[in-house]
Amino acid sequence: MHHHASPSAAPVVPLRGPRRGIGPDDMRLSGGFWGRLQETNAHATLRHCLEWMERLGWIANFDRVADGDTGGPRPGWQFSDSELYKLVEALAWEYGRTGEAWANETLEALTGRIAAAQDDDGYLNTCFGHGGQAGRYTDLSSGHELYCTGHLLQAAVARVRTVGEDKLVDVARRAADHVCREFGPEGRQGVCGHPEIELGLAELGRALGEARYTEQAGRFVERRGRGTLEPVALLDSSYFQDDLPVREAEVWRGHAVRALYLAAGAVDVAVDTGDDELLGAVRRQWDRSVERRTYLTGGMGSRHQDEGFGEDWELPPDRAYCETCAGIASVMVSWRLHLATGEVRYADLMERTFYNVIAASPGEDGRAFFYANPLHQRTAAADVRPGEVNPRAEGGVRAPWFDVSCCPTNLARTLASWQAYAASVEGDTLSLLQYASGEVRAALAGGELALRVATGYPYDGAVRIEVVDAPPRSGLRLRVPHWAHGATLSDGSGDRGVEPGWAEVRGPLEPGSVITLDLPVHPRLTWPDERIDAVRGCVAVERGPLVLCAESVDLPPGLSLDELRLDTARAPRAEADGAAVWVSSAPAGPGAPGGLPYRPAAPPGGPAPARHEVRLVPYHRWARRGGSAMRVFLPTV
How do residues 430-457 score in pLDDT, each as one tens digit?
999 999 999 999 999 999 999 999 999 9
- Structural contact between residues 607 and 582, judged by C-beta atoms closer than 8 angstroms: no
Mean pLDDT of the chain: 94
Are residue 335 and residue 264 in the same domain, yes or no?
A: yes
Q: Please tell me the total count of domains within the chain.
A: 3
CATH of the domain at 286: 1.50.10.20
- Structural contact between residues 613 and 298, judged by C-beta atoms closer than 8 angstroms: no
- Structural contact between residues 556 and 563, judged by C-beta atoms closer than 8 angstroms: no
What contacts 247, CB < 8 A, 6 or more positions away?
277, 278, 281
Are residue 469 and residue 341 in the same domain, yes or no?
A: no
pTM above 0.85, yes or no: yes
Specify the pLDDT at position 1: 32
One-letter identity of residue 5: A
pLDDT-flagged residues of the chain (< 50): 1-5
How far apart CA 174 and CA 345 sit, in angstroms, is 39
How far apart CA 188 and CA 223 sit, in angstroms, is 11
Specify the pLDDT at position 196: 98
Distances (CA, A) of 34 to 40, 157, 438, 501: 10, 24, 10, 23
Omega within 30 of 0 (cis) for the link into 458: yes
Are residue 342 and residue 449 in the same domain, yes or no?
A: no
Specify the pLDDT at position 5: 46
Specify the pLDDT at position 4: 43
> Cα–Cα–Cα angle for 100, 103, 108, nearest 5°?
130
Find the domain containing 470 and state its range: 423-518
In terms of Cα–Cα distance, which of 579, 586, 576 is closest to 524? 579
Specify the pLDDT at position 588: 62
Domain-located, residue 597: no
Domain-located, residue 9: no
Are residue 165 and residue 295 in the same domain, yes or no?
A: yes
- 307: region left, alpha or beta (phi > 0 left; psi from -120 to 50 alpha): left
Are residue 151 and residue 285 in the same domain, yes or no?
A: yes
How far apart CA 469 and CA 435 sit, in angstroms, is 19
Are residue 364 and residue 475 in the same domain, yes or no?
A: no
Specify the pLDDT at position 589: 62
- Structural contact between residues 519 and 543, judged by C-beta atoms closer than 8 angstroms: no
Domain-located, residue 216: yes
CATH of the domain at 462: 2.60.420
